[in-house]
Amino acid sequence: MKTEKSNPKDVSPAISTYLIAYNSLQTIGWSLIGLIIGQHLLGGTPQLTLYEASKTFLQIFQTAAVLEVLHCIVGFVRSNPVLTAFQVASRVFVVWGILHSVENTQASVGYTLLLAAWTITEIIRYLYYVLNIAKIEAYPLVWLRYTLFIILYPIGVTGELTCIYQALPQVAQTGLYSIKLPNKMNFAFDYQYVLVLIMLSYIPIFPQLYLHMFAQRKKIIGGAAKPKPE
């Protein structure tokens, strides 16, 4: 759940135009993924799994979110670059290090959960940014952004952990991305252990991010008739 603020003060019209274009493209991309999910649920693509139908758009638009770290670093937006980098990296890792790399995760119920949660979250988030940069107030969208996370964030995290957990047996069996001893470098690396450590890292990190979003919700809409401008 990213906390990037896309209405930075004192930015040039060119930067604002770029940010509107970037967030608009992301809104379109995630909306296309949403259409694919809907079509799949209605049985419109029986010859394809949900992963096969959605993977290209997911890989493109989720990987493109790496640009958001750069936006923070160069000052296009007012966000913590370390926090943004962590949040983007965690998703990019799931997309490429788990779903792309470990085939048995692609048909997992975890994939359906994370894709649905990510898609709803991102459509709302990027559309919110577009309107915010354009200085258009849309309180219902603000309310959705700072309310639906209460349900969507745990669903997304459950999906991510489910996929990582289901990847463990195949990673252990195949030695995927692992380096075994002995070798010329005298160096060992076990990808399975990395996945376990990543899963354990959710224990301290998830509550902090989740509570941070509640604090943001209280700041933006808590007890107020309309949101405070950022």
Q: Looking at the annotation, which residues are catalytic?
A: 153, 160
CB 69 within 8 A of CB 84: yes
145 token code pair: 């952004």
CB 3 within 8 A of CB 83: yes
The whole-angstrom separation of Cα 49 and Cα 179 is 32
CB 57 within 8 A of CB 35: no
User: Which neighbouring-strand residues pair with 222?
Assistant: none
Half-sphere exposure of 151 (CA within 13 A, CB side): 8
- Amino acid present at 107: A
